[in-house]
Structure formats: C-alpha cells, structure tokens
Structure 1
C-alpha cells in the first residue's frame, strides 16, 4: 500500500517523506483493548488536527505518510477529512482522491459524501450522481450533506432530470426534504436550471427557512424581471442581511428602475447595514442610468466612508468612472481614473467608453495607445468603446485600422457588436455602400444591431433603398421592434414619400404596436429629478413653462434661430409643425431647468430617445444667448452645448 501511494505522490510532486512529529504517533501494541481504542481515537484526532492546520498541498505530505504508517488507510473518519482538505486545495478527484477512496473496503456514508462533494465542487460534475447510485446499490444510506452535494452537482451541469429524481429520493428515504440545507440547495438547483416555479413551490413547502432561502428566490425573481414579487418576498423577510439588500438594489438597477434602487439604498444606508463593493456597483449602475449628479457625489462619499476607496479598489474605481461618464461629468470620471493607483483592463475600458460617449475621440484614442504601452491587453469591450469613439468623430481610417488589429494583433475574432460599430462608423461618414458590403461579407450572421446601424445611417443620408433592405431583415429579427417601423416611416417622410408613410403607419396600427413616448428628465437645484413627456403639460409648473418657452422662442428668433420643420414627420402645416416641435420633452425640461436652477449653473437633461435636429439647434441657440452649459444625454451619446457650439460638432 505504501508503495502504491508513494508512486502517486511522486507523480503529483507530493512524495512521501518523514516528518517531525513522527515519534508522537507511535502505536502501542501490548496494552488493554479499551486503552488501545482510546489511543487510536487520540491518534485519529491528532491526524485530523494536523490536516486542518495544513496551508497548502505540500504540507499534506507528512500527514499522508502517517495515515499509512499508523494503519489509518481504512479509517473512514480520517480519509473523509483528508479528501475534504484535498478538495479545498482544488486537487482533481481523479485519480488521487478516488484512489484513496477505492482502497477502503467498507466506506461509510461520510466517506461517500466527501468524494461526492469533491466531484460536485471540483468536477467532473457528471461523476457525482453515478457515484451516489453505486453508494445506494452497496446498501449505504446517504446523509444530509450527500444530497446537498448532489444538488450542487446538478446545478453545475444544469441536470434538471437527475435533480428531480434525487428530490424524490429525499422524500422516499425520509426526512431529508424538510432539512433546511437540503431545501436551500434544492431551491438553488431548480432556479439555476431555469425552473422558477419549482423553486418557489419548494420554498413554500419548507418548514424552516433562513435568509439564504429568501435571497435565492429574490435574486431569481429579479433576474426574471418580476420585481413586484421580489418586493413582496423582501418585505416578508423578518431579518435582512447585506446580501438580500444588495440583491434588491441590484435587481432594481438591472431592471432599469434606478429611482427605486437609489431609494432602497438610502434605506439600507440609513439602517446602518454594511456596504461592500457588490452593493456599490449595483447602486452606481442605478445612478449612471438616472444621470443624477447629486447622487453621484453622495455615492462616492459613501464608498470612501465604507473603506472602498476608488484610488485603491479597482472595481469601485472603474464603476465610478462609468457612473460619472454617464452622469455627464467626464472630467470627474477622468479625475477618478488619474488618481487610481492600480488600473486594469476594466478601468481603461470604462474611461475609453466615457470619452467615446462624450465625443472626445482624440482622448479615447490617446488612452487606448497608453493602455497598449502599459501592456494592458484590450478586450472585446475595449474595442467597442474605441470604435464607437471613431464613429462619433468620423475617424474612418483609424476605425479601419483598429478593426483590422483586433484579430491580426490581439487574436480577438470580431463579434456582431464590433461589426455593428464598423457599419455605424462607415454609414455615418457617408460610406453607405461600403457599410452594406461589410454586412454582406460578414463571417457571422448579422444581428439586429448591425442592420439597425445601417438603417440609422440611411436616415442620416436619406437613402430609402438601402433602408428597405435593412428593415426587411429587422422585421424578421425584431418583429415587434416598433422603432424600426418608425425609423423607416421617418426616412420615407424625409424623402416626401407620404403614401409609404401612410402604409407604415397602417402596418403599425394593424400590429397593435405603440411608440415609446418621448421622455426627458432634468435635475432641479434641490437634486429632485423632474420628468417631462412630449406634448404633456401636466407638470405643476406647466403654465410658467409655457410662458417662459414662448418668451425664449421670441428671443431665439431675433438671434437667428429658425425651427427645423423637417424634424416633424407628419404632413401638417408649417404652423402646426412649429407648435408640435415646441412641445418636445427636452425643450420642456430645458425651460424648467432655466426656471429652477441658478444663473450660470449647468443644466443636465437625460432623454430616452435620440434628440431631433430641431431640438439640437434649439439647444445650441439657448446655450449662446443664456451663457449656460446644457448637457443632453440621449440614447446614443452626450451633447455638451456651450456658447452656441456642441461637442459633437453637429455630427451625431
């Protein structure tokens, strides 16, 4: 036996050797039987203590030698502990731990469970269930942790059928289905396999539940988009820990409900619940969606108070860069980046993406070069940010070089998202035919983003012919995407093809689709976010806004502003078109901002759709006559209006 194990240890670099505590564990032979039992138990306890004291695999060498020397190679208690320690150190179950197990003549349930658990944690996961079947055939009854390990293995392989059969086993053998740990791992297995209803049924039938039971379901409902049920579960949980608070905050953020995420985080912070970087990343994401500068400053203070300094915590630092960028403060984002003592691909990528969305293509490309010089290897997302920067600044040749270097230099195969960036870059710059040829020669199937980029370029350059080709594919890929129908209708309207406009609108009505209402948000002096919808005058200050807008329009016209009536895609009179333009949501938000913020301060507006050409001209003129900076974030990028100029240089 010693020879067998010696050969194995030598193969794995764990050769047998003597150890310093050898003399402490010498067996006593000529003693009474009861004393021998006591001494054997003492020896087993000492060996187990030594196992627990090992810090790495190398320290197991002398302990393993004594397991064999002291005749403990059949001791299930010691070997079960030994296999658990091997699992802890990520030693593969095959061949060594399995060899330890197979040499035992009568393994007990705990030894079986130790090996099953090893397979469920270290793999191969598919070996766990067959090992359990062998265990049952040999007449060994499982214990609670046997089923916990088995359900983890089923979760890892998404083996729903085996999981259900094992669930039946917990009932047939008796008693296990009511165990808290078994119930929690069973819920987790059903949820990971995608069967939320089974997980909920198991939860409802459990006699005992703990915070893990509740949190698992809350996370699952949040991922499915059902935040209402997640809220009910959260409110019903008697005692809430940091993990479940974080699950709710992150759930709101992931489901585009940033206001609820921030309100809940305020409750969490006020209740004195500890905050970690996972919580902060979730709430930072919510703040980025909302684009609220007030919350951005507060969250940064919270991070530093919680000991998660962005200068040394690269995860929090990268998230803050993204947040400041999406809140319109790319300067503050760069300050965070500059003061970080550690930077990785994610911090570089976040900053490059921030520069890109603000139209600072030169800064984005300089940072990309700096990243390469520091031997930080760009990833797929880095290239999306860099290509987007080129697209927003008409840097066609640089974009071509970047796209080529992805595979040639970095070995990154372009995804459909990268192709979409290139199509957008070429199309915006007027190379529509080249963009279309790129789509036709793609090595992978184009997704909706690729055809959408081509369709968007057709809108800019008024090309209904290629637009019809693009939209025919979009109708197949996104049959319920109303934006594609509306965009084609707008292209027809720009070309004066009103019959085609009428046809598209009838098709939209026939399909029962409804346009997403244009909506804009603006932050008042007190930090409160106000919401405005197009053609909606229900705001408490609507009368003041209407009068102020009328006076502002008169001033703008005297300064040379003329409404861009081509932005209205309806066949109306010029006066009706002008009235319709003045009720766009971003104009209402802008006037409210002028009324409620102090002179000289910036006005920040977030819009859910793309800003129209007339609103863009309107913002330019207002920034010139009021000497106010206006920052508008639409669903494509940021526009910084100052002194009658825009950061996009009228190219967006």
Structure 2
C-alpha cells in the first residue's frame, strides 16, 4: 500500500521534486492522497488538483474525478477538464464527455484552450449518437483554425461515419484542406464499419499510398462480405505483413468455409517466425473445429503449452472446448473446461453445454447448467440455445419446454428465432406436429427457412402432403438457392410414389440453377484429408480396393441380419439398383478406406456434410460390432458414437 505521506510529493509552486502520484493504481490509494491534500491545503493548487483528476481518469475512476472537478469553484483552465473529457469519451457513458465539454466552454477564459479536447468530444458525439451537438462543434470547427488541423478533421470524418452520416463524412474528406494517410484510412474503415464495401473499395483504389492499416482493413472488409478472393489478392501483393495481416487473412478463409487454407496460412505464419496472438489462435481453432480432425487441434494445444500462451485469456479456453467437442473428443473438451475452473467466463460454460448437446449427452448438459446456476455467472441466450438443443437431441420434450419457460420467466430472456427453432424441431421430432404449428403461429417474428424445413421433414415422416407443400413453398421463398428445400419436397413426393411431381421439382431446380449438394464424407489419415462422394473417392488414386472391401463388408453384415433399407432410396429404380446405390454412400466408402489403412483397435472418425440416413446408421452399428471398431461420425446435426452394435444417439436423431 502506498501511504499518503509517501505519495504526496506533488509539484507545487517553487517545488521541483518529481511527483509520485503517478504510481497510484487503486481508488483507495487516490483517496488517501486526496485526504492528505485537503489537510495540507494542496487542494488549493491548480496543478496538484489537475494531476489528481488526471490520475483518477487514467485509472478509470471517472465518477470520483468528476466529483473533484465539481468542487472546484472557478475551474478556468482546460487542464481540469481535458483528462475527464477523454476518459468519458472512451467509457460506457460517452455523452458525459459532451456535457463536460459544454461546461468547459462556459468556464474558460481563453477558448483557445479547447483545441486538445475537440477530437475527444467528437469521438464522444459519435459514440453517443449526439448528432445535434456534433453538428454544433462541426460548425465551430469550420470557422476556426481547427479546420486546418488534420487530427481534428480526421476525428470529424470518424464521427460522421459513426453517426451513419456517410455523405457528410465524404463531404468533410473532400473539402478538408489538409488530407493525410490517416484521412484516407479513417474514411475507408468507416465505410467498412457501416457495410459500404463498394465505397471503401473506390477509396482504396484511389489512395495515393497505402499502409498496413488500409490493407488490413480491406482484407477484413472483403472477408466479412464473402469476397475472400479479393482479400487474398491484397494479401499476396503486400510486401510487408504484420501479425494483424496474417490473423485477418486466416480469419477471412475460416469465415468463408475454407478451413484447410486457413490452417495452411497459420503454419506459414509460424514458419516465418511470427508469434500468433489470441485472435489468430481462436481463428485456427475454429478452422480445425470446422474440419473435425483432432490431430491438428492437439498440435495447436501443445503449441499453446510449449509457448506458454495462456489458454484462459481472450476466450482461447472456449475455443479449445469448442474445437475438442466438434472433433469428437468430448472428454478432452471437459478436461479443458475443468482445468480453467477459477477463470471461467460465460463463453466457457456455453461451449461445454453446447459440446454435450451435439454429442447427445443431454443429462450431462442439464447437470452442467444447474452447476452454472449456482455460480455468480448468469446464463444468457446462448446458454439456453445449447440447453434446448441438448433436450432436442435427447428427445426430452417436457424438459425442453420447461427450460424454454425458465428462460423467459426466471431470467427475462426474450427468445430469438433460434430458440423457437429448437422448440419447433423438438415438438415435430416427438410427433407433435400440430403443437409445433401453434408455436409458429404464436411467434413474435416470421419463421425462418430452418423452421419451415423442420416442418417439411415432419410432414415427410407422417406423409402429410398438405402441410409439407405449404412448408416447402415458404422455405423456397425464403431461400430460393437452398437445394435442401427442393430435395425435401422431392423426397416427400418420391415417398408417396408421385414421380411426375418429383420430375417437376427437379425441372424447377434446373430452371432456377439450383444444384443439389452431394453427400460428402471426410477422414484424416497421416496428415492428409481424404474425401468421398457417393460411389467414389475424390483424392484416392484407385477405388478398386475400397469397392472390394465394401463387397466383403456387406456380405459379412448380411450374415448378421443386415437388410438394406430400400425406403431410403427415393429414386424410381429397381430394388437391385437401390441396393447398389445404398452400398456406395459416402460414409460407407470412408469406413472401408479407413479399415484398409489403419491398425485394429484405432477409432474411425468421419465427418459428413449431410444428415446420416437410416440405412447407413444401421450399417455403422453392425460394422462397429463385427469389426470391433469404435466409429465416430459427425453429421450435419450431431455426433454418433457407434460401439459394439449401439449408437450414442439411441436411434433418436
């Protein structure tokens, strides 16, 4: 603790000793000094008081600093106001800075002293949506020497963009007498912040010179608009790249569903000796989670430990939990969760609950939620989304409805479209189609495409052609390029044997240029990803060995009672052709390849882009028993752990 007698060596008239006030770090220490200043009458010295206000502002004790300022009878110098205006402009109460600025103008004897506070108050106006006050300051700037200060005009540009006044920002930029690189970057980053990508691109291409800030901003802007190729073009032309550049381009590829490229860039960054920061680590862990292959994730985890990067900081812990969960290693995810017991944030709890959910561990998810309730952290909307998803995957309809009510009544959280989607899906999976439709009717927002696809799936299961057609039309209106909407309707018609209607749906898809997404399964072997489509391997030189072992597998399984579920082939084919079609589903090809290339006892991990069909599900259960292999499949919705003839989903998926 710093005592008042030690700290108060403040500078007073005639005293040249260096102040120790700057060493104070807590409000308790500041209060001691303040008390001593009052007792020794140092409170009457302007420089001492201004130093006290400055220290309070710097340490975030803005309200205490304001109370000191308000006790000064005639604060005629800007040194009392300047640190507070800057502090409040960056705080959660930015409009307080605007009011202090007005008070300062009223008190000052020399208005030239406001100059240093103008950029801060402009920032405050932007952050607090104070258009009228910002416009008044703008008018004042136009009439004074401040108009020739690029620091002020750049702050003006940022303020107008923050307020959504794009034309005014551009007007200031075009008219400003002194324009520097920061002016260009201010306008570009402002345009990108409000989603004006084309305007940002125009300015970027017109820039007389570019720096890391402008290039990094454009890479990030392009990435968020799905223009990853343009982002990559800028990256490749940059002669100088910093950590932000690498992190941004990695994130660009991950955001645009190119996880392998993101992972490759991360490795390249490390090879150049660039130490990654938390955002880079989180992006690459997200890429690995998308891929679903834990070997790469374990390498990153080891890298964190070897390089003493705190896995608890900046949500790295949540990213690790999410990565292990989505790579099928729920035990490792839980180990990470427990290892950060003293530093958990809400994101850590949410990641773990969601991890249990996608693995179908509904009771573990509920138990963890109850544990979270006993902590100081309150569950949020994402917590309940994970909990409702868990109830959905576990088929716990009553529990799901109860937690949906708890979320609203106990925690006052308004459900979002995703929460309603979970409840609708939970009801339709439980066979309560009418109740699901009632939920849709009573929702305060319009249902999205996922909700209508859930109803369409239920209609197919229960052969309800009327509701199915309505749901399909709504889904196709909302997402005309989503092939799954057309496929579900086509499958509904095929199940009923309405082949003319099936042909009509396919013709509509062709007319609209909608292509069906083929089922694809991926496995990771010896550092390489192998992908399989129905009947073939994309990157394997020969399919002959795979087809041979497939025949052997089908023969063995049939001896154990396996009968292909021909109802899963919704094509107008003969039974023999349907059987051949089923035998070549991508996940079966992947299992055959893995059996050829791994030793006995090693678990088989498969990632599939679509939902696993009923026939493949039965097939995998028997393979796990006959070949004594643990098979872990992550499909579009969840994980399936096949072992000794059983699946963790208990046939509810």
For the superposition of Structure 1 and Structure 2, which TM-score range results when normalised by the shorter chain? 0.7 to 0.9
Residues 647/137 of structure 1: CA separation in 2 closer, same or farther (3 Å cut): same
- Say yes or no: does 1:113 pair with 2:118: yes
- Say yes or no: does 1:332 pair with 2:332: yes
Specify which of 112, 116, 134 is matched with residue 128 of structure 1. Answer: 134
Offset at 1:107? 2.7
Residues 153/602 of structure 1: CA separation in 2 closer, same or farther (3 Å cut): same
Q: Deviations over 1:518-560 (max 9, x none)?
A: 1111111x13111111233553131111111112111111121
In the alignment, the residues of structure 1 paired with residue 349 and residue 146 of structure 2 have an alpha-carbon distance, to the nearest angstrom, of: 56
In the alignment, the residues of structure 2 paired with residue 485 and residue 169 of structure 1 have an alpha-carbon distance, to the nearest angstrom, of: 54
In the alignment, the residues of structure 2 paired with residue 64 and residue 420 of structure 1 have an alpha-carbon distance, to the nearest angstrom, of: 53
Offset at 1:218? 0.6
In the alignment, the residues of structure 1 paired with residue 221 and residue 437 of structure 2 have an alpha-carbon distance, to the nearest angstrom, of: 41
Partner of 1:93: 97
In the alignment, the residues of structure 1 paired with residue 458 and residue 282 of structure 2 have an alpha-carbon distance, to the nearest angstrom, of: 35
Partner of 2:32: none
**Secondary structure of 2:226's aligned partner:** coil
Q: Is the 8 A contact 1:333 1:351 kept in 2?
A: yes
Q: Is the 8 A contact 2:633 2:640 kept in 1?
A: yes
Offset at 1:269? 1.6
Partner of 1:137: 143
- Say yes or no: does 1:438 pair with 2:442: no
Q: Deviations over 1:502-530 (max 9, x none)?
A: 33222222323210121111111x13111
**Secondary structure of 1:368's aligned partner:** helix
Q: Is the 8 A contact 1:109 1:142 kept in 2?
A: no
1:570-649 matches, within 5 Å, as: 570-649=571-650
In the alignment, the residues of structure 1 paired with residue 434 and residue 120 of structure 2 have an alpha-carbon distance, to the nearest angstrom, of: 62
Offset at 1:239? 1.7
**Secondary structure of 2:147's aligned partner:** coil
**Secondary structure of 2:444's aligned partner:** coil
Residues 343/66 of structure 1: CA separation in 2 closer, same or farther (3 Å cut): closer
Partner of 1:252: 253
Specify which of 150, 163, 166 is matched with residue 157 of structure 1. Answer: 163
Which 5+ residue runs of structure 1 have no aligned equivalent? 1-17, 27-42
Q: Is the 8 A contact 1:116 1:132 kept in 2?
A: no
In the alignment, the residues of structure 2 paired with residue 260 and residue 44 of structure 1 have an alpha-carbon distance, to the nearest angstrom, of: 60
In the alignment, the residues of structure 2 paired with residue 496 and residue 88 of structure 1 have an alpha-carbon distance, to the nearest angstrom, of: 66
In the alignment, the residues of structure 2 paired with residue 528 and residue 140 of structure 1 have an alpha-carbon distance, to the nearest angstrom, of: 60
Residues 135/375 of structure 1: CA separation in 2 closer, same or farther (3 Å cut): closer
Q: Is the 8 A contact 1:187 1:199 kept in 2?
A: yes
1:57-96 matches, within 5 Å, as: 57=62, 58=64, 73=77, 83-84=85-86, 87=89, 92-96=96-100
Q: Is the 8 A contact 1:108 1:140 kept in 2?
A: no
- Say yes or no: does 1:532 pair with 2:532: yes
- Say yes or no: does 1:474 pair with 2:469: no
1:412-423 matches, within 5 Å, as: 412-423=413-424
Residues 330/592 of structure 1: CA separation in 2 closer, same or farther (3 Å cut): same
In the alignment, the residues of structure 1 paired with residue 84 and residue 338 of structure 2 have an alpha-carbon distance, to the nearest angstrom, of: 49
Offset at 1:88? 5.6
Residues 484/438 of structure 1: CA separation in 2 closer, same or farther (3 Å cut): same
Which 5+ residue runs of structure 2 have no aligned equivalent? 1-7, 17-44
Residues 489/141 of structure 1: CA separation in 2 closer, same or farther (3 Å cut): closer
In the alignment, the residues of structure 2 paired with residue 619 and residue 482 of structure 1 have an alpha-carbon distance, to the nearest angstrom, of: 27
Partner of 1:9: none
Tell which deviates more after alignment, 109-118 or 286-295.
109-118
Residues 306/198 of structure 1: CA separation in 2 closer, same or farther (3 Å cut): farther
Offset at 1:121? 6.2
**Secondary structure of 1:606's aligned partner:** strand
Partner of 1:545: 546
Residues 478/78 of structure 1: CA separation in 2 closer, same or farther (3 Å cut): same
Residues 207/52 of structure 1: CA separation in 2 closer, same or farther (3 Å cut): farther
Q: Is the 8 A contact 2:154 2:183 kept in 1?
A: yes
Offset at 1:295? 0.7
Q: Is the 8 A contact 1:152 1:189 kept in 2?
A: yes
Offset at 1:429? 1.1
Offset at 1:61? 7.8
Partner of 2:451: 450
TM-score (normalizing by structure 1): 0.87
Offset at 1:150? 1.3
Offset at 1:374? 2.2
**Secondary structure of 1:517's aligned partner:** coil
Offset at 1:52? 5.9
Q: Is the 8 A contact 1:242 1:275 kept in 2?
A: yes
- Calculate the aligned-residue CA RMSD, in Å: 2.8
Q: Deviations over 1:305-342 (max 9, x none)?
A: 343333x4371111111111110111111111122122
Offset at 1:134? 2.4
1:352-431 matches, within 5 Å, as: 352-431=353-432
In the alignment, the residues of structure 2 paired with residue 111 and residue 508 of structure 1 have an alpha-carbon distance, to the nearest angstrom, of: 63
Offset at 1:574? 0.9
In the alignment, the residues of structure 2 paired with residue 181 and residue 581 of structure 1 have an alpha-carbon distance, to the nearest angstrom, of: 61
**Secondary structure of 1:599's aligned partner:** coil
Q: Deviations over 1:16-44 (max 9, x none)?
A: xx996444489xxxxxxxxxxxxxxxx99
Q: Is the 8 A contact 1:19 1:62 kept in 2?
A: no
TM-score (normalizing by structure 2): 0.87
Q: Is the 8 A contact 1:568 1:581 kept in 2?
A: yes
Offset at 1:648? 0.9
**Secondary structure of 1:604's aligned partner:** strand
Q: Deviations over 1:346-390 (max 9, x none)?
A: 111111111111111111111111111224321111111111111
Offset at 1:257? 0.6
